[in-house]
Each structure stands twice: as C-alpha cells, then as structure tokens.
Structure 1
Amino acid sequence: MDSLAIIVLAAGLGKRMGQGIPKVLHRSIEKTLIEHVLSTASSLKPEKIVVVTGFEREKVEAQILKAKEEGQFAKTEILFSYQQEQRGTGHAARCGLKELRDFNGTILILYGDVPLLRQETLLALLKLHHSEVASLSLISAISDTQRAYGRIIRDEKSGKILKVIEARDCSPEQYLLREVNSGIYAVQSSFLPLALDSLQDNNAQKEFYLTDIVAYAAGHGHKVAALTLFETEELQGVNSVEELTLINNEILKRRRGKLLASGVQMLDPSSVYVDLNVLIESGVVIGPNTQIRGKSVIKSGTIIEGCAYIENSTIGPEALIKIGVRIEGAVVGARSSVGPFANLRPEAVLGEDVRIGNFVEVKKSVLEDGVKASHLTYLGDAFVGADTNIGAGTITCNYDGQKKHKTTIEKNAFVGSDTVLVAPVTIREGAYIGAASVITKEVPSGSLALTRPPMIIKEGWVARKKKKL
C-alpha cells in the first residue's frame, strides 16, 4: 500500500447533545468520541492525521494533546486545521486538505463523532481501494435502520456507483433504497483537490456536501469502489444523547463478547456491566444485574450470583459472591464466601476460606483465613485472627466521636452473639466472649469474658400482674 494520511472532521457543535460543549468532546463510557476515532486512526500507522476543528477549537485541541501526552496515540503526528465558518462537510474537508499540500498517497476521511469504527473495517476499505486501483472508495451499508444516511445511487444495468444523495434531498423512491452511505472515504491525493474544488452548495442546506465528490468521480470516468457492510453498528454516529446511549451499549456488547470468548460465563449477558480496565479470568460465572467497575480483578472459578456491585476489588480464586452484595476497594481471598446482602467497604481484606454472611458490613479490617461472621455484624477498623467465629449481632464500636480506634481479635477466638466490642480493645488468642456482653478491656488468652447481669426468674409473676389489672 502507498502512503496514508487521515483527515478527521471534528468541527461540529452538537446542539442536540444539550451540554454546550463540542460534540466530539462528549464521553462514552470509555473516553471522548474524538479519542475513540483517533485511537483507531492511529492504529493504521498513517504519516499524519489532520483534525478539522471549529466550535471551541481550543478545548478540542487541548483534549487531543492531553490524550496524546498520556500515550493514546503518542507515535502519530497530529495536525489541526480550523474551519472558521460551518459550511458543510465538503468545506471542512477542504480545510483539512490545506495541511496535506505536499502529501502523495491515499487520504482517508473520517468523522470525529463515529467512535465504533473497527481497525479491521478500515484496513479492508484500504485494501479494496488499492486492489481496485480506485480514485475514490467508500463504505456503504445495507440497512433498514440508518434512514438519516445518504443513499447510494447505482446504474441499474452495470451496478456502478453513480452518486450519493443525502436523505433530506431524496425523492420518495430514492428514500426507499436500502444501501446507505457511511460518509467514510479513501481518496487518492491527486484526485481529492479536484473533487473538492468542484463542490457546489445548491442543495437544501446550502452547504458543500462531501458526498458530491462521488458524483464528480463517476461523472469524470474515475473508478469508484465500495466496501459494503451488512451490520451497521460500527457506523453509528452521535448526534443526540439517545445515540450516545447506543454507542455505550455497543461498547459493552463488545466487551462482553470478548469475555465470553475467553471462557467467562454470563447467565444474562445484556444485564452485566463491565468497565474497561476490569480483568476477569476464564472460568468465572457472573449472574444477572452485576456491575464490575474500576480496576477489579475476578479470578478463575469465582461465582457471582447476581445483583452485585464490585469496584476496584480483587476476588478469588473460587470465591462465592452471593446475591445482593456490594464490594468496594476490598480483597476477597480464595474460596471465601460473601453474602447474601453483605457490604465490604474500602480496605476490607478477607483471607482464604472466610465466610461473611447476610447483613454483615466490613470496613478497613483484616480477616485472616477461616474467619466466620455469618449474620448481622459490623466489623470496622479491626483485625480478626484465623479461625475466629463472630456471632450474630456483634459490632465493633470504633468511633468515639473524634477518632477511630482499632479492635484486635486474635486467632481461634469465639465472640458470642450480640456482643459490643468498645475499641481500642484486644481479645487474645482462644478467648471466649459470652453472648450479649459489652467488652471494654483486654480479654486474656483462653479466658471467658461476659458482662451481662445474672438472670432472674420470678415464678407466678404473670398471674399476679394480671390480677392487679
């Protein structure tokens, strides 16, 4: 293939997006629209990319340069060209071409608000362009949904492309055509200046349509080729919040597809949300309505039953996350079980074979291997040694109104139900705490501590009470 340069049209205002910022600076769930496009464009290894800016150009250019400094497209030369007056896509392409006066090769024209284009599709377009020795090649699609796109008009006998007519300028018969134009072109540098100079603004919008270069090419005997797609998701542009939602849905669909292909099982894939930097190993099972966010790592053999929220946490291997669990900034060790309806807050660290049950909250605490806290418990600012059992209703009173204090429970301890541990306090190895106790000082190793008053029984008290009434 010969040399490649790319023009990205990114001057649009995006009024329907409703936020008053340039359209290409709106963000998907990953990054800005323009960053999506430039990342894909730079993967083609062009000599240079020219970004045509317009509305609030300074913000657009600053975001691109920031992304470049962060390494997204660090090895690609990126230039900017300013479209001061919004006079259509053809006029924008003219602005971009000014930065390519000395370039000789193929010029690829992309849009800054079409973020889902695949590298494979653009490579296929360039391959077709060169194999057909075309002056102009485009991507078309067979679609019943992309009705706002221009229609491809072909010669009825030869099938050759004659022109593209924008949807708003179509006759009723032309509007029914199913082959639509994506607006993405590969054009020879020797042909593009002539084609752009030929553009007229005699249309409904009084703009210079880039699509008119197709009619110019066909009318002057130049070869026009088309790469025709039958799935149109990657051609989706963004002109409204609703369309941005479609983009996000497709991004998630692609992520889930990669995970499924790698051996991750999802019981209801469409209800699973996975962030870009999440790592999920093969053999994980994910139930419905699960969100996995941030830089979470889910290790092999882990089962997430569903209705879970996991953020910046490491889970497993072979852990069990039961229904209705929230885990944030935490570590769950191998074969540990959490839930149902449990909450692991930041800096909760569970060792191996730990059991955290229903309505248990753990915050900034380390629970060593084999610890069990099965019901209705709060462990905050605590250390719990291996194989300790925490009874139902136990809480660590870690806050005195001014400072947080630590509770230490050494290994093999047994804490009875409904216990209050008033920090700072230490329970030594193997100690037992009687149910319903309030512990305010250190309990020695192997000791039993309890603070509840003695049980009193008054026989016949109920009958006497009723007699008085």
Structure 2
Amino acid sequence: MSLEVIILAAGQGTRMRSEKPKVLHPLAGKPMLVHTIEQAQRLQPGQTHIVVGHQAHQVEAVVASLGVKCVLQAEQLGTGHAVAQAMPAVDSDAIVLVLYGDVPLVPAALMQKLTEQAGQGKLALLTVNLNDASGYGRIVRQGPDNSGPIQAIIEHKDATPEQLQIKEINTGILAVKASYLNAWLPRIESNNAQGEIYLTDVVAMAVDDGIAIGYLQPDFPQQTQGVNDRMQLAALERWHQQQQAHQLLSDGVQLADPSRFDLRGELKAGTDIYIDINVIIEGQVHLGNGVHVGPNCHIKDAHIGAGTQILANSVIDQAQISANCSIGPFARLRPGTILHENAKVGNFVETKKTTLGSGSKANHFTYLGDTEVGEHVNIGAGTITCNFDGVNKFKTHIADGAFIGSNSSIVAPVSIGAGATIAAGSTITKDVANDNLAIARGKQRNIAPWVKPVKL
C-alpha cells in the first residue's frame, strides 16, 4: 500500500507579527516547513502535497526544489477543508499521513509507526499529555476516568468544563486510509464555535463506522509542539539545540557549554574535538580528529582537517582546511578558500578564492582574493592582492618560498616567482622572476629644517 503525505501550510500566523508566512520562519537555520518535509520524505512517500494559502508564492518558491506538489487553499476554512483540497490528487488506495508545516520536529520514526497503524485499517492519531492543555483539542475516551478507547476530539472552545480537565491533547497529526477520508470529509459540518471544518471530526465518524482508533505518543512533548508566536519558536529552538548538543556529547565531542552552542545543519565529527562557547555550525561541516574551535566562531559548509586550531571570533564559510592549520583570531575565510597542511591565517586576515600551500602563512591584517600561494610563503602584515579593476576579477600567483614584505599591494594579474622577495611598502604591477628582489615605492626625502605648523 502506497503512502502519500499532506502537509498543511496555508495559515498566516498573525501572532508571529510578520510579513513572512509562519511556516517559513527558521528553526535551526531552516524553515519549519522544510524540517517537516525532510522528515516525511525519509518515509519515501509516493507524493507529498503542500497545502498553501497565505503568501502562497513565497511558500512555493521555498519548496520548489524539494520534489513536492503544492495545492492552493484559497480560503482558510479549517483543517478539514485544507485536507479536502489535496484529496483529489491523492491515490484512493493510499495511506494518507497528515502533518503541519508549523510542527517541525516530528521524527520520521514516529511518522512511520503512525502509518503502520493506518496500514492495519486504523485511524492512527498522535496525542500527547500536557500539564497545561489550554487551547488544545482534548482526547475524549470512554469511561468515567477517560481511560478507555478514544471516542472523539473536542476543541478547546467547544469543550465542557469537565472536558477541559483532560490532559491528553490532539496534535492534529494522523494517518489513515485515503478511502476513509474521502468518505468522511464531505460529511464534516462547521457547526462549532469557530465556524470551521475541523479535521478532528473524523474521529467520531470513525467510531460510528466501527473503525478502530489507534494512537501513539512522542518521547518528548516538544516533538509535536506547534509554533504560534515568536516566544514558542524561541523555546522550541533552545530545546532542539539542547537535544543536538547532548547527542554530540554522547558521540564524544566536547562542548564547553552545551547551552551556548548552535547547530544549524549537520556536523560530522572525529575524536577529541573541543568546541568553545557561542560557536555556530551551519550547513554541512566536517571536523577532523583533534580540532579545537575557539569561542564565538561561525563555521559554514566547511571541512576542517585533523589537528587544526580555530581561534576566537573567526568566520569560515565554504572553505577546505587541511590538517594542522592555524586560523584566527578574528580571521575570515570566504568561499573558495583552501588551506594546505600547516598553513596559517592569522588575526584580521580575509581570504576569498585563495589557496595557501603547505607551511605558508599570512599572520595579520591581510586580504588575499583570487590568489594562488605556493608552499612556505610568508605574507607580511598589511598586504593586499588588488584583484578587482571595477569590472573584472584577476588572479595573483605567488610561488614557493616567496617573501612578501609588509604593507605591499600586489595588483593582479601578476605572478611572483619562487624565492622572490617583495620589499615592504611596494606596489607590484609587473611579474617578479624567481629569486629577485622587487622594490616599488617612492624615494624617501628628508627635509630639514622643518617647522611644524601651529594652530592659528
């Protein structure tokens, strides 16, 4: 039996107080809706349907590359109405898994268990027990103590005082055969406090039709928590980051303070890694054995070789770093940077589309853009490669063993030969041959006597 997923993402989210659709607000650096889609696609559904509404074009643009199909809910008339918009495109023999774009942390394993229950012919619900169930639909069960089989879901505004005491709530997430939904959805009425078509009404219909009601609960309430405002989003972010930090600690990564670490992507880590406070890992990052990351660093889409030291306040973005390099403090490695073994990029050095060969170093106050640096090159403080003429970018080549004196400007395109020396303060506009000394600066004049100006 095939599986199809319907994700509801049409709401405006007025409590977010934003022009952006609620489901596009990021959690761990990724839109909430994308979290839901990625987990659902781990089940390999035949199709994933995204029900869009408010700012539909924005939502469609974000999910366009994710292999999903969007369907428009022109009027937001309730969850039942939203699911009904997608059903004409759903295989009538499929299992349907209904998810929400603002409930981003439901794990795929829990989704899988729900669909397995639905495959047994049940209406499978995801419920959770909360100490404070205010605002949520209550799970109504048989028996005076509400402990028997599930009979219905009552929305908070429609609940009696007795029903409001129930702690088990409906998450809205369910799995069921498409044929059942096709029979139930047209029968739902909007005679409730909200005047909406509630998907939850299918529970009572299932009971009336003799369909068994199954249910599951998450390991943590946060896995089924929806986001309605920025406070809830911030709280869910902290919980998610805490879970990721605890997993890294279990895997052997040392975090100086797990509460001051953010992972906004995927981290592959070797052994004996130390990460100091306020470090942000974004995208796909690999840290080799023995890497040390100092405080306040931001690393994005990068490979860091074994034994490399990243000192405080450094930014590494789409760079490839080999073993035993030294970076920072206050270094910025922009996309296209490649450091070979034992290279050093020191404080207030910026690189872009630049390769530093083994043992080469730029210790401080330097900009290297579109530059190929050989092995064991020393680049003095204040050096810049002038790679842009206002229209085009040009490359600088610095061969093995060259020495670049402080405060030099190297105007590309230009090549500096192996073993060459550039005198401090030079502006280099022509190629320098191997083992040559290049001096390109104005002649010094000492004027005497010299009377200093005075204030009038």
Shorter-chain-normalised TM-score: which range?
Answer: 0.7 to 0.9
Counterparts of 1:426 and 1:79, CA distance in 2: 54
Within the candidate set 318, 329, 342, 1:340 is matched to 329
Q: In the alignment, does 2:157 pair up with 1:143?
A: no
Within the candidate set 115, 119, 124, 2:113 is matched to 124
| Residues 279, 298 of structure 1: 8 Å contact kept | yes
Counterparts of 2:45 and 2:55, CA distance in 1: 26
Counterparts of 2:364 and 2:100, CA distance in 1: 56
| Residues 396, 422 of structure 1: 8 Å contact kept | yes
Q: In the alignment, does 2:79 pair up with 1:89?
A: yes
What's the counterpart of residue 267 of structure 1? Answer: 256
Q: In the alignment, does 2:199 pair up with 1:210?
A: yes
Give the deviation of 1:320 after TM superposition: 0.9
What's the counterpart of residue 315 of structure 1? Answer: 304
User: Closer, same or farther in 2 for the Cα pair 1:347/1:174, shift >3 Å?
Assistant: same
User: Closer, same or farther in 2 for the Cα pair 1:177/1:381, shift >3 Å?
Assistant: same
What per-residue deviation string (whole Å, max 9, x for no partner) do you get for residues 317-354 of structure 1? 32111111123343333211111122334444322112
| Residues 428, 444 of structure 1: 8 Å contact kept | yes
Q: Secondary structure at the match of 2:265?
A: coil
User: Closer, same or farther in 2 for the Cα pair 1:157/1:414, shift >3 Å?
Assistant: closer
Counterparts of 1:395 and 1:48, CA distance in 2: 53
Q: Secondary structure at the match of 1:369?
A: coil
Give the deviation of 1:164 after TM superposition: 2.2
What's the counterpart of residue 159 of structure 1? Answer: 147
Within the candidate set 197, 220, 229, 1:231 is matched to 220
What per-residue deviation string (whole Å, max 9, x for no partner) do you get for residues 26-70 of structure 1? 665566555544444444455666655555667767766x33xx5
| Residues 143, 230 of structure 1: 8 Å contact kept | no
Within the candidate set 367, 376, 384, 1:387 is matched to 376
Give the deviation of 1:452 after TM superposition: 9.4
Counterparts of 1:364 and 1:99, CA distance in 2: 47
Count of residue pairs brought into register by the alignment: 449
User: Closer, same or farther in 2 for the Cα pair 1:407/1:164, shift >3 Å?
Assistant: closer
Give the deviation of 1:185 after TM superposition: 2.6
Give the deviation of 1:370 after TM superposition: 1.4
User: Closer, same or farther in 2 for the Cα pair 1:395/1:58, shift >3 Å?
Assistant: closer
User: Closer, same or farther in 2 for the Cα pair 1:23/1:401, shift >3 Å?
Assistant: closer
* Amino-acid identity (%): 38
Q: Which amino acid aligns with 2:137?
A: G
> For residues 323-362 of structure 1, what are the structure 2 equivalents within 5 Å?
323-362=312-351
| Residues 60, 70 of structure 2: 8 Å contact kept | no
Counterparts of 2:111 and 2:98, CA distance in 1: 11
What's the counterpart of residue 355 of structure 2? Answer: 366
| Residues 141, 230 of structure 1: 8 Å contact kept | no
| Residues 134, 224 of structure 1: 8 Å contact kept | no
Q: Report the TM-score, using the length of structure 1 for normalisation.
A: 0.75
Counterparts of 1:293 and 1:439, CA distance in 2: 38
Name structure 2 gaps, 5 residues minimum.
none
The structure that has the greater radius of gyration is 1
Alpha carbon RMSD of aligned pairs, Å?
Answer: 4.5
| Residues 48, 79 of structure 1: 8 Å contact kept | no
What's the counterpart of residue 159 of structure 2? Answer: 170
User: Closer, same or farther in 2 for the Cα pair 1:328/1:135, shift >3 Å?
Assistant: closer
Counterparts of 1:421 and 1:190, CA distance in 2: 72
Q: Which amino acid aligns with 1:159?
A: S
Q: In the alignment, does 2:290 pair up with 1:301?
A: yes
| Residues 135, 156 of structure 2: 8 Å contact kept | yes
User: Closer, same or farther in 2 for the Cα pair 1:106/1:366, shift >3 Å?
Assistant: closer
Q: Which amino acid aligns with 1:143?
A: L
Counterparts of 1:425 and 1:59, CA distance in 2: 46
Name structure 1 gaps, 5 residues minimum.
none
Q: Secondary structure at the match of 1:114?
A: coil
Q: Which amino acid aligns with 2:131?
A: D
Q: Secondary structure at the match of 2:217?
A: strand
Q: Which amino acid aligns with 1:165?
A: I
Q: Secondary structure at the match of 1:229?
A: coil
User: Closer, same or farther in 2 for the Cα pair 1:42/1:384, shift >3 Å?
Assistant: closer
Q: Which amino acid aligns with 1:170?
A: A
Within the candidate set 371, 375, 381, 2:364 is matched to 375
Q: In the alignment, does 2:169 pair up with 1:180?
A: yes
Give the deviation of 1:310 after TM superposition: 2.8
Q: Secondary structure at the match of 1:276?
A: strand
| Residues 110, 218 of structure 2: 8 Å contact kept | no
Q: Secondary structure at the match of 2:171?
A: strand
| Residues 368, 384 of structure 2: 8 Å contact kept | yes
Of 391-400 and 335-344, deviating more is 391-400
Q: Report the TM-score, using the length of structure 2 for normalisation.
A: 0.76
| Residues 343, 356 of structure 2: 8 Å contact kept | yes
